[in-house]
Structure 1
Amino acid sequence: MLENGPQDNGSRLRTEFDFELPHGYVDARGTVHRQGTMRLATARDELSPLIDQRVRQNPAYLGVVLLSLVITRLGTVTDIHAGVVEQLFATDLAHLQDLYRRINGLESGHSTVACPSCGTSFAVPDPSAGTRPGEA
């Protein structure tokens, strides 16, 4: 699904991405919702959680707030808010955080480092590539 990234055959920008959760969101009636849609994040999406009091008190909550802004649908649920994301199983939350990083181009998987002796630059696996939003 994401092999081509946000570009659709190089001609159109793809802004929404369908996903399927490993377990699914269970609503108050017991209905399991596994399919959903996530949109590309905007600068506002990245900045607005930083003034959220919940994020200020617990920086790890950033990922919950951020996902609540970019998930546009989860099964038949269209009113996605932090309370919905909080109810996800840990595996589903990790799945969505990984999807967020991929579609927004936030993981290259490698960092460039320079040898302190000779100054030669080379790529090494990035230890932070697996870091999820809100896990700084």
Structure 2
Amino acid sequence: MKRSSSAVAAAPVMQTEFAFSLPRGYVDDSGVVHRDGVMRLATARDELIPLRDDRVRENSAFLTVVLLGRVVVRIGSVVDVHAGIIENLFASDLAFLQDMYRRINSEGHTRSGVACPSCGHGFEVDIAGGRLGES
């Protein structure tokens, strides 16, 4: 018996890269601000390699910087993102990327449930995309 094409569901495509817009932005050596970027899903290797890094061995807080330097694919026109770029981000941007990393690698998405403080109506927002007021 032959199945019709409508009976065979297409396999869902797994999303491995996620766009974001930094709250403040990375300021390069020329003073250009870069805000929009892409983060990819982490692999086991991404989480293991930084543990051998001397900077991480000396200061465990540096783990986040090295790890984000591996998974952030692009910030603006900067495509060679590394620990040196990440450590020069503003603290609010670093916190944003840490939260995004946790969401896409632990929970599998960048959507978060929120509630209106006035009326209590619940809805979802995509924490990775858009500037305030955009949908």
TM-score of the superposition, structure 1-length normalised? Answer: 0.70
Which of the pair has more CA radius of gyration?
Answer: 2
Q: CA deviation at 1:12?
A: 1.0
What residue in structure 1 maps to residue 45 of structure 2? 44
Runs of 5+ unmatched residues, structure 1: 1-9, 108-136
Alignment of 1:21-32 (within 5 A): 21-32=22-33
Q: Deviations over 1:80-127 (max 9, x none)?
A: 0111001000000000000000000169xxxxxxxxxxxxxxxxxxxx
What residue in structure 2 maps to residue 77 of structure 1? 78
Give, in whole Å, the separation in 1 of the partners of 2:12 and 2:62: 36
What residue in structure 2 maps to residue 99 of structure 1? 100
TM-score of the superposition, structure 2-length normalised? Answer: 0.71
Aligned length: 99
Q: Does 1:61 align with 2:49?
A: no
Amino acid of the structure 1 residue aligned with 2:29: A
Classify the secondary structure of the residue corresponding to 2:106: coil
Give, in whole Å, the separation in 2 of the partners of 1:49 and 1:106: 22
Classify the secondary structure of the residue corresponding to 1:91: helix
Q: Deviations over 1:4-37 (max 9, x none)?
A: xxxxxx7111000000000000000000000000
Runs of 5+ unmatched residues, structure 2: 1-10, 109-135
What residue in structure 1 maps to residue 122 of structure 2? none
Give, in whole Å, the separation in 2 of the partners of 1:88 and 1:69: 15
Amino acid of the structure 2 residue aligned with 1:41: A
